């Protein structure tokens, strides 16, 4: 028994030593001899394992890629979500830059910081103060028009009263300076937001819906011509001696984030061309209408000339060949009735309409004969 | 089903896991299913046979890294023989002892393997043997114990 165990131990040790020596031999032989052995093992025993490992590596790579792809897709989705707001902000900043270019000098760009408090709708903090040249009663404007006025100034920031503030007033007028009034905030309802009302408009002045109302420049705080809003409708008040109009504001305070603060020395100077003039817009519209009329007039004249040419050629052909009746007898044509030439009307629209009317009247002559054929009809009905 | 066949099936499952789950996880301190398979086989056979199994398994796995051919074979031979010998000496059979076997076997294998491979030197080798190898050994021990628990019906000896 003990002999057998000893024998087994020897075999085990022998196998251990043999395997160890073989392993060391494999380790020390040159690469040129190692490589064929490794290749042979890879191509036989390890072939399915290599395949499995390759599959596992590919799967892992795919999983890693899925994560990165998902991250990229999320980033793209997030960018797409932000794109609209970024576009809007870009548009607004471009307008602000445009306003700055038109103002040329005497303004301070600032950010409007909404406090999100109870009085948030009527006041705002501006990120520019006395050091930047801001003073009390400096007008605050946006590319769209009037925003408010600075009511307190610190060295690095200032506090502005928006047009929604109950104490805010601005002298306003229609774009053609035909009607003047005082603009102030108009709270539509407890939750409906703010509009602007213009009070004290003379009774004789009648403003149409859509008419632009601008600051009049009276009073010295606001320069002339800054858009305040557009007329929505007239509202009835107890003041019978004057009209009151409701305006859609040019600027809604909640949308104000970047503004321009006008310096007081700039307020005294001209503001021509800063905001597009309504009179200029009207003149441009008139020019467009006139140009359209001219084109219409030329087209009508050309059509009339063509129609005349066709009629003349038809008449000439009918004069050259004698007409015959059903029996073959030649009908002697009646002498042509000379009509007085129709005067050419200088207006654009009417000639075309008249030519068409004439043609139509020719085609409905049958009705006249039909009326004549009805016997016993009173003459007055013809 | 005989105990030998079940042991062979278990061995093949571990080999399969070594070439599928391990590369799929791609951890820096990976578990070594081949070593678990070798240890589970070694405790069921004589030390000489365990040495041969270790040599074959090590040589075949070395074929994927021809520069290290022989290093894994020697490591597996030593670990297989040692596991079988120690199992015969102590006759112990509990999960904690198996975990210790897995941990010690893996660490020993790494020491032999990286020592013979001679790819790493100095600080890098020390970092591998002192930091990453014990971590890998711990992961191997944990996974080995877990798999032993899960595969207990397959690994338990047939009742007489």
Using an 8 Å Cβ cutoff, are A34 and B66 in contact? yes
| CB-CB under 8 Å, B66 with A34 | yes
Q: How confident is the model at residue A192 (pLDDT cuts 50, 70, 90)?
A: low
Give residue A373's pLDDT: 40
Nearest to B79 by CA among B95, B63, B97, B57: B57
Within-domain flag for B59: yes
Return the pLDDT at B141: 92
CATH number, span A104-276: 2.40.10.350
User: How many Cβ pairs closer than 8 A exist between chain A and B?
Assistant: 106
For the ranges A23-27, A128-132, A251-255, A338-342, the lowest mean pLDDT is seen at A338-342
**CA-based nearest residue in chain B for residue A63:** B24
Most confident of A11-25, A179-193, A321-335: A11-25
Q: Flag whether B16 is in a domain.
A: yes
SS3 state at A167: coil
- Is the pLDDT at A331 greater than 80, yes or no? no
Across the range A144-151, mean pLDDT stands at 88
Query: In this structure, is residue B13 part of a structural domain?
Result: yes
Instruction: Dump pLDDT digits (tens) for A244-264.
Output: 999 999 888 777 788 889 888
The predicted complex's ipTM stands at 0.85
Supply the angle between the helices B33-42 and B3-25 in degrees, to the nearest 10.
160
- H, E, C per residue of B82-145: HHHHHHHHHCCCCHHHHHHHHHHHHHHHHHHHHHHHCCCCHHHHHHHHHHHHHHHHHHHHHHHH
Strand partners, A195: A186
Both tokens of A66, joined, read: 């899925």
Q: Taking CB atoms and an 8 Å limit, are A16 and B23 in contact across chains?
A: no
**What DSSP letter does each residue of A225-277 carry, written as one string?**
T-EEEEEEEEE--S-TTEEEEEEEESS-GGG-SEEEEEPHHHHTS--TTTS--
Q: What is the mean pLDDT of residues A303-316?
A: 71
Contact B69 A11 (CB under 8 A): no
Identify whether B141 is part of a domain.
yes
What is the DSSP secondary structure assignment for residue A345, as one 8-state letter? P
d(CA A142, CA A250): 9
Tens of pLDDT, residues A176-185? 888 899 999 8
A interface with B, Cβ–Cβ < 8 A, is: 8, 11-16, 19-20, 22-28, 31, 34-35, 37-42, 45-46, 49-50, 52-53, 55-57, 59-60
pLDDT value, residue A116: 61
List chain A domain ranges: 104-276, 277-302+345-368
B160 lies in some domain: no
**What are the tokens at B110?**
């790494």
Is residue A362 within 8 A of residue A307, CB to CB? The reply is no
The domain of B18 spans 3-155
Residue in this structure with the two tokens 């074929």, named with its chain if needed? B63
- Residues in A closer than 8 angstroms to B85, CB to CB, are 12
Find the residue in A nearest to B14 (Cα): A49
pLDDT above 70 covers what percent of chain B?
A: 92
- pTM score over 0.80: no
Tokens of residue A2, six digits: 């003990």
- Pick the residue from chain A with its C-alpha nearest to B88: A9
Q: Between chains, do B74 and A24 touch, taking CB under 8 Å as contact?
A: yes
Q: What are B109-151's pLDDT values in tens digits? A: 999 999 988 888 888 889 889 999 999 999 999 998 898 888 8
Which DSSP string do the residues of A26-53 spell out, in sequence order? HHHS-HHHHHHHHHHHHHTTTHHHHHHH
pLDDT greater than 50 at residue A211: yes
Give the count of domains, chain B. Answer: 1
Nearest CA-CA partner of B32 in B92, B105, B120: B105
Query: In DSSP terms, which residues pair with A246 in a beta bridge?
Result: A197, A233
B22 neighbourhood in chain A, CB within 8 Å? 56
């Amino acid at each position: 028994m003990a002999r057998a165990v000893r024998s087994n131990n020897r075999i085990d040790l022998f196998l251990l030593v043999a395997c160890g020596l073989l392993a060391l031999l494999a380790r020390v032989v040159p690469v040129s001899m190692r490589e064929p052995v490794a290749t042979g093992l890879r191509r036989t025993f390890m072939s399915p394992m290599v395949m499995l490992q390759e599959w596992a590596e590919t799967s892992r790579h795919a999983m890693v890629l899925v994560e990165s792809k998902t991250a990229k897709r999320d980033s793209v989705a997030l960018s797409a979500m932000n794109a609209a707001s970024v576009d809007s902000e870009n548009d607004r900043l471009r307008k602000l830059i445009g306003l700055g270019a038109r103002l040329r000098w005497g303004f301070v760009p600032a950010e409007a910081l909404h406090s999100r408090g109870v009085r948030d709708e009527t006041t705002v903090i501006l990120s520019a103060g006395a050091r930047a040249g801001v003073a009390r009663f400096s007008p605050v404007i946006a590319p769209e028009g009037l925003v408010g006025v600075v009511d307190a100034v610190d060295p690095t920031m200032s506090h502005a009263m928006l047009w929604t503030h109950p104490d805010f007033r601005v002298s306003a007028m229609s774009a053609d300076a035909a009607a003047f009034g005082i603009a102030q905030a108009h709270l539509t309802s407890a939750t409906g937001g703010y509009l602007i009302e213009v009070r004290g408009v003379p009774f004789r002045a009648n403003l149409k819906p859509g008419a632009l109302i601008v600051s009049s420049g009276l009073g010295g705080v606001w320069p002339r011509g800054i858009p305040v809003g557009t007329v929505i409708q007239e509202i009835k008040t107890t003041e019978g001696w004057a009209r009151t109009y409701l305006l859609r504001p040019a600027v809604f305070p909640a949308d104000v984030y970047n503004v321009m603060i006008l310096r007081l020395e700039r307020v005294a100077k001209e503001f021509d061309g800063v905001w597009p003039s309504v009179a200029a817009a009207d003149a441009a519209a008139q020019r467009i209408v006139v140009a359209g009329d001219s084109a219409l007039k030329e087209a009508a004249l050309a059509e009339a000339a063509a129609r005349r040419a066709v009629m003349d050629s038809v008449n000439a052909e009918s004069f050259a060949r004698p007409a015959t009746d059903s029996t073959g007898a030649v009908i002697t044509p009646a002498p042509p009735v000379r009509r007085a030439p129709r005067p050419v009307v200088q207006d654009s629209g009417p000639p075309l309409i008249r030519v068409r009317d004439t043609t139509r009247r020719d085609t409905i002559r049958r009705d006249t004969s039909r009326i004549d054929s009805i016997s016993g009809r009173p003459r007055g009905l013809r | 089903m005989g105990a030998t066949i079940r042991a062979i099936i278990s061995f093949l499952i571990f080999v399969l896991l070594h070439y599928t789950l391990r590369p799929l996880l791609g951890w820096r301190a990976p578990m070594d299913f081949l070593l678990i398979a070798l240890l589970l086989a070694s405790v069921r056979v004589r030390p000489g046979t365990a040495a041969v199994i270790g040599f074959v398994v090590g040589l075949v796995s070395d074929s994927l890294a021809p520069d290290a051919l022989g290093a894994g074979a020697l490591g597996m031979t030593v670990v297989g023989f040692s596991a079988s010998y120690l199992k015969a000496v102590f006759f112990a059979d509990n999960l904690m002892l198996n975990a210790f076997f897995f941990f010690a076997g893996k660490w020993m294998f790494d020491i032999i393997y990286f020592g013979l491979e001679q790819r790493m030197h100095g600080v890098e080798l020390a970092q591998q043997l002192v930091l990453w190898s014990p971590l890998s050994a711990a992961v191997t021990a944990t996974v080995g114990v877990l798999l032993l628990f899960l595969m207990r019906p397959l690994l338990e000896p047939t009742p007489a």
